[in-house]
Amino acid sequence: MKSELCNLLGIQYPIIQGGMAWVSTAKLAAAVSNAGGLGIIAAGNAPKDAVREQIAAAKQLTDKPFGVNVMLLSPYVEEIVDLVCEEKVAVLIFGAGSAPKSYIDKLKAAGVKVLHVVPSVAIAKKAEKNGADAIIAEGGEAGGHIGELTTMVLVPQVADAVQIPVVAAGGIADSRGAAAAFALGAKGIQVGTRFICSNECEAHENYKMAVIHAKDRDAIVTGRSTGHPVRCLKNKLSKRMLDAEAEGISREEFEKLGIGGLRRAVVDGDADNGSLMAGQSAAMVTKIQSCQEIIDELVGDFGKVVDSLKIYE
């Protein structure tokens, strides 16, 4: 399980940890990087100083490359771009919007590799044209803020549309999903939900248990009617949000219901009234493991899966 992505990013295995706001802290990122993948610190909506502390903490915990993920919805995106350049972080990943070329130019001039999460072919092409080094094609099986298309149809279309490496995201939690991603044309995978259930992840125990107990249809989507779909586990909050949408709540009132929800779930452990963002693969995550064990399983079983596919020989 080697690919050109490993050379691009200076990592052992083409596995990128999902940048999950509040969940993806320095401790998780460093553990994934130490295990041979690319660990990611999620800047979320945090200002520069808070992210600087996380970067410093990660540098204490690993000498391997790691990255920072920033949402283009964040009010601090520009200062996070500057911070990543100053700190010479190996990789910056943009998501939740289309990154202006000026940001990408600045990062590349500072020697930072730039990846862009995309939900469609058009945005992938735009990111490539603007100078991104690789694309993360994220299907709607993923947790959090999602697009319309599934991983199965998005990844091959993006792989055909761009020359730069494509990383598959959304619904990948084991070596079968990893092999499928490579079959679709990906050169790497991004895994989020499974890393929530790692020892090194600092999310509240209640959040981890909610993921572990989730069944196949428990990761639902709120906000479809307001044009801001978010996948999270079924609970009191997400059911209330769905009911409110069905009753035709205004966009403003709907957004208010979600404010602070992710922090309540991840930090406070409020599994009823917090936003338990997770992908559909939550149902496939059944235990807490170290990041090293998770990566060893993803990599170790990969060859077996690929060998089992040679049915016509």
**What residue ranges bind ligand TUI (CB under 6 A)?**
21, 71, 95-98, 117-119, 123, 138, 144-147, 230, 262, 277
Shortest Å, Cβ 96 to ligand TUI? 4
Shortest Å, Cβ 312 to ligand TUI? 36
Judged by CB, which is closer to ligand TUI: 36, or 39? 39
Shortest Å, Cβ 195 to ligand TUI? 14
Shortest Å, Cβ 275 to ligand TUI? 7
Burial status of residue 198 (CB atoms within 10 A of its CB: 0-12, 13-18, 19 or more): buried
Shortest Å, Cβ 144 to ligand TUI? 2
Judged by CB, which is closer to ligand TUI: 97, or 156? 97
Shortest Å, Cβ 301 to ligand TUI? 27
Shortest Å, Cβ 103 to ligand TUI? 13
**Whole-angstrom distance, CA of residue 70 vs CA of residue 92:** 7
**Whole-angstrom distance, CA of residue 10 vs CA of residue 6:** 5
Judged by CB, which is closer to ligand TUI: 61, or 96? 96
Judged by CB, which is closer to ligand TUI: 144, or 171? 144
Q: Transcribe the chain into DSSP letters.
A: ---HHHHHHT-SSSEEE---TTT--HHHHHHHHHTTSBEEEEEET--HHHHHHHHHHHHHH-SS-EEEEEETTSTTHHHHHHHHHHTT-SEEEEESS---HHHHHHHHHTT-EEEEEESSHHHHHHHHHTT-SEEEEE-TTSSEE--SS-HHHHHHHHHHH-SS-EEEESS--SHHHHHHHHHTT-SEEEE-HHHHTBTT--S-HHHHHHHHH--TT-EEEE-TTTT--EEEE-SHHHHHHHHHHHTT--HHHHHHHHTTHHHHHHTS--TTTS--B--GGGGG--S-B-HHHHHHHHHHTHHHHHHHT-TT-
Judged by CB, which is closer to ligand TUI: 71, or 84? 71
Residue facing ligand TUI at closest CB distance: 144
Shortest Å, Cβ 174 to ligand TUI? 21
Judged by CB, which is closer to ligand TUI: 227, or 287? 227
Helix (H), strand (E), coil (C) string for 258-285: HCCHHHHHHCCCCCCCCCCECCHHHHHC
Judged by CB, which is closer to ligand TUI: 39, or 274? 274
Judged by CB, which is closer to ligand TUI: 113, or 145? 145
